[in-house]
Amino acid sequence: GSGAFVPAVVVGTGYGAAVTALRLGEAGIGTLMLEMGQLWNRPGPDGKVFCGMLDPDRRSTWFKNRTEAPIASFLWLDVVNRPVQPYAGVLDRVNFGGMGVYVGRGVGGGSLVNGGIAATPRRSYFGEVLPQVDAGEMYGRHFPRALAMLRANEIAADWFERTEWYRFARVAREAATKAGMRTRFVPNAYDFAYMRREASGEVPRSALAAEVMYGNNHGKQSLDKTYLAAALGTGKVTIETLHRVTKVRREKDGTYVLTAEPIDAEGRRLAPKEIGCRYLFLGAGSLGSTELLVRARDTGTLPDLGVEVGAGWGPNGNVMAGRANTLLHPTGARQSAIAATCIDDWDDPAAPVFADVAPLPAGFETGISMYLAVTRNPERGTFVHDSATDRVRLRWEREQNAPAVAAAKSFLDRMNRANGTDYRYDLFGPRPKAFGDDFCYHPLGGCVLGRATDAYGRVAGYRHLYVNDGALIPGSIGVNPFVTITALAERNVERVLAEDIAR
Ligand code: FDA
């Protein structure tokens, strides 16, 4: 190996990782971040850093021959996905048997590709999901700090009511109201002031040019502009890109040694490196952090890891569905790609649903109202190591999403009845299908807080080894998760800095 040693390593550059690196850097601790994706700051031949959703090229997709968009068809036709050259693109879909998990790849992780929805969970549900966390401290300090750092902002109500770009959301609100459901604004990390200037033609368009999911060229206040910029600003944090961490072991003196496998953007393998550190923070997300620990346990490089590592995974009850509005309710050929509203029906005791009113910026009138429903599905998956291939697989059967589909169906059936409308059956593949239930955007769990770790993300069985990302949350949080991941990471790293780290 190269024999490099640094005080602290953070694996990944998503929400949990970015928070961790900033606070370590501020405390004066030399920190190296290792990210398997690229730094997205160089324009391609078209002058843009990211490609659009409607004309994807190789920048869209992490090493595949074809894009894998979630809404894969229109009128059952395979018109959405495109062949692409394999490349270190920004969006990955990790396909396990019963579940395709979307994740961001690059400096900023999920913040590069996600919808920016900055939702705070209900306090009662948060308390139920993470009972060992002091909710008073979270809601008093850590959530407000996370929202401020992430620059969460709300759409101006008067503009929302009159702009053509949110007709789709007003139509969805009317349908919800008829069904007796409450619609409200939801904060977003996309800068709504910038979006208004897009609408008036003062600045280049991004949300209003159907950009999201494969990156936003403007307006999105992703982590590279917030936490990571601040982390680099401490002068103590560096980021190595296109470095995938594949192995972790521990030396007798307590040093952790990582194997990193660098590649170039076309996927050519460069010489592997070994990097040693005193403090190791895993922020590679639910899939990434869990994979590293499951492999380390089952190949014997960290043999004291327990059975809870790999358990407690869930897709946050994610289900997508579209309703066909009547001709009286066009949703608009022009749609902002950024959601601004949600329907909060979590109080329905039989089938609690929190639904993002999702845009479908196709560029023509579709009449569709799209929803990403977050439901309360108690089913959980488990990660297992396959020794023959050294791959880590997710055990999750397709049927495990049945409770989520049932909740989404109860919610949308009510909406359809109240409005005399029906589902769209043509959006999720070649056969008629109303619910997108075989993919998710919100992977959570695998190294659950208080089980695989202590109450602050310290991994059970090892000193100075931490998980600080979505892997800590046990499969469900009731709303879009990145604000919770960020706030929880703030809380955990604060404690670790105070108690564990010699300065
Ligand atoms: P995150 O996944 O952000 O970061 C992990 C990073 O680690 C990645 O950059 C990855 O490349 C890197 N990595 C993984 N393994 C590695 C390894 N072995 N070595 C080196 N690097 C490695 N949430 C929300 O709240 N509001 C929303 O609107 C949306 N919308 C949305 C849309 C889409 C399309 C997606 C895919 C996701 C969302 N989400 C969302 C979910 C949200 O983006 C997600 O919950 C967070 O990004 C998770 O944050 P983490 O810190 O856990 O990891």
Give strand pairing partners of 250. Answer: 256
Per the DSSP assignment, residues forming a β-bridge with 33 are 10, 239
Rounded distance from Cα 247 to ligand 1 centre (Å)? 20
What are φ and ψ of residue 372, in 5° steps? -105, 105
Please give the pLDDT value at position 34: 98
Terminal Cα distance for the chain, rounded? 28
Residues in the chain: 503
Query: Ligand 1 centre and the CA of 481: distance in Å?
Result: 10
Closest ligand 1 atom, residue 288 Cα = 15
So what's the pLDDT on residue 1? 44
Query: Which ligand 1 atom is at minimum distance from the Cα of 109?
Result: 9
Phi first, then psi, for residue 123 (nearest 5°) are: -60, -40
C-beta separation of 455 from 318 below 8 A: no
Q: How far is the centre of ligand 1, averaged over its atoms, from the C-alpha of 228 (Å)?
A: 14
| Cβ-based neighbours of 85, under 8 Å, separated by 6 or more | 58
Angle between helices 15-26 and 482-499 (to 10 degrees): 30
Chunked in runs of 10, what are the mean pLDDT values of the chain (503 residues)?
84 99 98 98 97 96 97 87 97 96 98 98 98 98 98 98 98 98 98 98 98 98 98 98 98 98 98 98 99 98 98 98 95 97 96 97 96 98 97 97 98 98 96 96 98 98 98 98 99 98 83
Dist. CA 359–CA 208, nearest whole Å: 11
Is residue 436 classed as helix, strand or coil in its secondary structure? strand
- Indicate the DSSP class of residue 495: H
Which token pair is 479? 């709303």
Q: Are 424 and 75 in contact (CB under 8 A)?
A: no
Question: Which residue's CA lies nearest to atom 32 of ligand 1?
Answer: 114
d(CA 51, ligand 1 centre) in Å: 19
Q: How confident is the model at residue 3, as a pLDDT?
A: 63
CA of 237 to the centre of ligand 1 (A): 20
In SS3 terms, 253-308 reads as: CCCEEEEEEEECCCCCECCCEEEEEEEEEECCHHHHHHHHHHHHHHCCCCCCCCCC
**Closest C-alpha to ligand 1, atom 12:** 12
Atom of ligand 1 nearest to the CA of 484: 25
Residue whose Cα lies nearest atom 4 of ligand 1: it is 14
- For residue 319, the number of C-alpha atoms closer than 13 Å in the C-beta half-sphere is 28
Instruction: Residue 405: count other Cβ atoms within 10 Å of its Cβ.
Output: 20
